Amino acid sequence: MKEIKVGLIGFGTVGSGTAQVLYEQASRIQKRTGASIILKKVADISIESLPSHLSSTQLTRDAADIIDDPDIDIVIELIGGTTIAKKFILAAIAKGKHVVTANKALLSEHGKEIFAAAAEKNVEIGFEASVGGGIPLIKTVKEGLVANKILSIMGIMNGTANYILTQMTDHGIAFDKVLKDAQKKGYAEADPTYDVEGIDTAHKLVILMTLSYGMDVRLADINCEGISRIEPIDIQFAREFGYRIKLLAISRNHGDHVEARVHPTMVPEKHMLANINGPYNGFYFTGDMVENVLLYGKGAGKMPTGSAVAADVIDIARDIMFHAINRVPSLSYQHQHIAPRRITPMEELRSPYYFRFTTHDKPGVLSTISGILGKYDISIESVIQKGREKKGNVPIVMRTYEASEASVRKALSEINGLDTTMAETVKIRILVDDGK
């Protein structure tokens, strides 16, 4: 039987999960592909021993032992980060090896250089595990939806942020408290910035936009707002209006320009994305032919992510066996057809909005606020004004019709400057899904 030899750099959570998948599924993989995938070597600087299904002679502290091994066809990079990982990947490509990685930060920041190097050497880069853990959505975009113009991408792409929002929604607990609890349970990192401020989600959106539209996207193109300012009171008002608050990545394809944004969003409660809770992810694509497709599953975790890494390894193994390298282009479009596109400036965005004003309880405040909104052409769809809170402040909550972000920014800046405004106004965009 044909053997495909693999080397694995980085034996952390996903690395050990990947090794376990390849071990436990070995017979199944043979029955499906007609080939054996052999994990020949594992490189890691900080582990002392390997699980019993691997021999200690397979362990090295030097990644070069894998990269320079002429016997190894595919190098799996699972150390993360954007410096050493990049060096190892470029070195592996230079040696003519195919690469599988889960490194979304690296691909979204240095993808252009890496994919150019891979094209130059005619090797493949597999990165299914970089977005959505075990959910096979990269393959879906590149192959399953190949005969579609993707009109929009919307998704809950970060399990930590979704877990925190779900806890806040189900139990009415404040962000800080849920975060601390999540950190204690190991669901959130000690430094949660990437997850809760939407940066991790933005990394993933860069990758999905690149594949879906055949365009060059830079991380800096993505407008990114996190969930740390969301309060239980907003979640409660959202519910009264019939919404759930979710941290969404949203990209709409307008042809000559594309939206690219990550921010907390009010999702209508009947929408599939509103019903994705806890650590689960959901990726919602609208194609001009297929209409709406949602993929849902665990967006992280040792074994689910290992499942995606293994699927990539098997995909490349099949191409090696059939001498069909780059049968599907790594970035979904042929290299020469990937081009930059204009990113819609946020000011040009049009959306309905939710506002929560914190005001002094004086007569005429609502009238002043409504007047300013009217001046900027922002029409109010409904208002909730609740009883006085402590310290004489009252929340005034509004849902608007579609308005331009530029006008909203000007209006809110003016309203925030009023003597009667006691705290910065909370602004949450409301999802309109034309695709449904």
Tell me which of 204, 246, 298, 427 is the catalytic residue. Answer: 204
Yes or no: say if 226 and 236 are a contact pair by the CB < 8 Å rule: no
The span from the CA of 287 to the CA of 435, in Å, is: 9
The span from the CA of 276 to the CA of 146, in Å, is: 26
Query: Would you say 25 or 58 has its CB closer to a second copy?
Result: 25
**Least distance in angstroms from the C-beta of 426 to a second copy:** 28
Query: Would you say 32 or 375 has its CB closer to a second copy?
Result: 32
Task: Give the tokens for residue 274.
Answer: 């509103």
Long-range contacts of 29-35 (CB under 8 A, 24+ apart): 29/310, 29/314, 30/1, 32/314, 33/314, 33/317, 33/318, 33/321, 34/1, 34/2, 34/321, 35/1, 35/2, 35/3, 35/4, 35/317, 35/318, 35/321
CA trace torsion 177, 178, 183, 188 (10° rounding): -140
Query: Would you say 168 or 222 has its CB closer to a second copy?
Result: 168
- As to burial, measured by CB atoms within 10 angstroms (0-12 exposed, 13-18 middle, 19+ buried), residue 97 is buried
Query: Would you say 10 or 133 has its CB closer to a second copy?
Result: 133
**Least distance in angstroms from the C-beta of 140 to a second copy:** 5
**Least distance in angstroms from the C-beta of 122 to a second copy:** 13
The span from the CA of 119 to the CA of 214, in Å, is: 16
The span from the CA of 5 to the CA of 313, in Å, is: 10
Smallest CA-to-CA distance from 240 within 121, 382, 32, 73 is with 382
**Least distance in angstroms from the C-beta of 334 to a second copy:** 5
Query: Would you say 13 or 148 has its CB closer to a second copy?
Result: 148
CA trace torsion 28, 31, 36, 41 (10° rounding): -10
Query: Would you say 252 or 298 has its CB closer to a second copy?
Result: 298
> Facing residues of 399 across strands?
354, 382
Yes or no: say if 77 and 9 are a contact pair by the CB < 8 Å rule: yes
**Least distance in angstroms from the C-beta of 226 to a second copy:** 26
**Least distance in angstroms from the C-beta of 172 to a second copy:** 18
**Least distance in angstroms from the C-beta of 435 to a second copy:** 11
139 is catalytic: no
Task: Give the tokens for residue 20.
Answer: 């376990």
Q: What does the binding site for a second copy look like in residue numbers (CB under 8 A)? A: 21-22, 24-25, 28-29, 31-34, 128, 134-136, 139-140, 143-149, 214, 270, 272, 275-277, 287-298, 301, 303-304, 306-308, 310-311, 314-315, 318-319, 321-324, 327-329, 332-334, 337
Counting every residue written for the chain, the total comes to 436
Query: Would you say 183 or 275 has its CB closer to a second copy?
Result: 275
Q: What is the DSSP string of 127-139?
A: -GGGSSTT--HHH
Catalytic positions: 204
